[in-house]
Chain A
Amino acid sequence: MVYSNVVTIIATIVAWLIIGGLVLIKHKKLQDKPKLWKVILIVIVGMFSFTINLNFQGVSMRIPILPLGVLLLMFAFRNKGESWQKYRIYAWIGFLGQFIFILTSLLTIPVNSVLYPEEELSTYIANTHNANIIQTHPSGEEYSLNKEILSKQIKSMKQESVYSEQWYQELTVNPDSTKVNERFPYVVIDTLPKWGSGFEGLIYLEKDGKGLLVSTAAGQYYFRGEVSVLMEEQR
């Protein structure tokens, strides 16, 4: 959905905390305590594995197929059978860590859809304090943005379908008129998305001032409101 935002960062931190927690628990139980820095090194090497990348619902994950790190350590310890008994568990904790990362990544999906619903405009526009529009096509008028109206409509604007082919055809099949009207001749700038959403994208404004086309890495969302956010240029 979104590649790097607050939720994915927290998920990564939580995964590391769980791994660290497992290591500490194991470490405390043992009477003959192995050196901590060795343990940490072994855990990290144990994480190293042959993985395949998979994309599920916009979340990219690395599924481990072969515990290369663990095998490497087994080979390194082949003549020191006794200490391998001590350290073995940490290597496997490292390998387990990869699965913990997958689990927390998967959990980001429902959390993201609750915190940053992609079908709601408020995810993409939360603050209009410095908002403005730039005209990106000559068929627009020299209007400016009415921030108050935009701000008031954020909650009420409804998501509608994007008819990409239809909109494209409507405009290009017009050979005799020299002036082509672009449906979205403005881009909204300097709005702030919901904090932590990680939204990066373009927000186009429709010619009548009532439609917003939000382009994100995950797809496009089109919202329509009742009142135009355009107003005559204030001089």
Chain B
Amino acid sequence: MTKKKIQVILLSGVILVALFLIYWFYFSKPTDFPSDQQLAKEINQIFPKADVDTIQDTIILDSEHVFVPFVSSNEEYGSSYWTWEKHKWKPVYINTVGDPLVWRIDSKDPSSSFIVWNIHPRDNVNYMRFYMIRDRGYHISYGIHTYIPQIQMEKQLSLKEQGYGVLKLPIEWGNFLTRANRLAKAQNPNVTFNSLLPDASVYIGWMPYNSDDELVFPENSVNGHGFINGDIETDFVRLLNEIDLE
């Protein structure tokens, strides 16, 4: 009798410890964000090419996601994306440049995404325009017509004070995206979507301007080296020309 009781107690003990460990590992709340020195050290250990010299800032996007722009000893302006997972802060993506990227911090809610960037001062970008675009189209099948109106929404941002920054997806963009995504899912109920934009014809783009209102090519902020160190969901931000807009 007592042998059985001991077994039951031991088993419950093991289960409890296991549950606690699972909670601690996967679900516990974040501890303090590492200091700048620790951040630089960790980035350089994981991806030496980043060659971090100075951490520019730590921008909190939500309780588990932080964007950290940095300058390398080679005067390159790079970007690192930190996520709280498995009980530590981890740089899930590092890049030696900071061309704008859409970071989907909540895959279930694309409207909570952020556009993040770190533009090199030598590119002389004074302000940027971001666009969310869906090209016009139409299709006819079995005599049923579908017209797809053009979507083109703009958001302008000044870069005067600092070359790095984050932009939460504008409310109207989120409004449109949420509905467009629900429609896309209703049209394809058996497909799982892996992008911000299940409606694959929607994309986000940008145009950088200098202080003379001219479009510039930000050569120091693009074509860098990226390093993926974990799970991250991002979307490309296309560089646009005036000809791409209406």
Contact = CB atoms under 8 A, between A and B. Distances in A.
A138 B172 contact: no
Nearest 3 CB-CB pairings of A with B: A164-B138, A217-B186, A164-B145
Given A136-B151, A189-B175, A202-B179, A162 B246 contact: no
Interface residues of A, number: 34
Given A202-B180, A217-B187, A138 B139 contact: no
Interface residues of B, number: 27
Interface of B: 136-140, 144-147, 149-154, 172, 175-176, 179-180, 182-183, 185-187, 189, 246
B145 A204 contact: no
A183 B148 CA distance: 10
Contacts of A179: 246
Given A164-B147, A182-B149, A202 B175 contact: no
B146 A164 contact: yes
Given A165-B138, A167-B138, A168-B137, A201 B186 contact: yes
Interface of B is mostly: mixed
Contacts of A182: 136, 149-150, 246
Nearest to B172: A134
B175 A134 contact: yes
A200 B183 contact: yes
A184 B175 CA distance: 17
Contact of B139 (A137, A164, A183, A201): A164
Contact of A137 (B146, B149, B175, B185): B149
Given A161-B145, A164-B146, A185-B149, A202 B186 contact: no
A217 B183 contact: yes
B145 A136 contact: no
Contacts of B246: 137-139, 179-180, 182
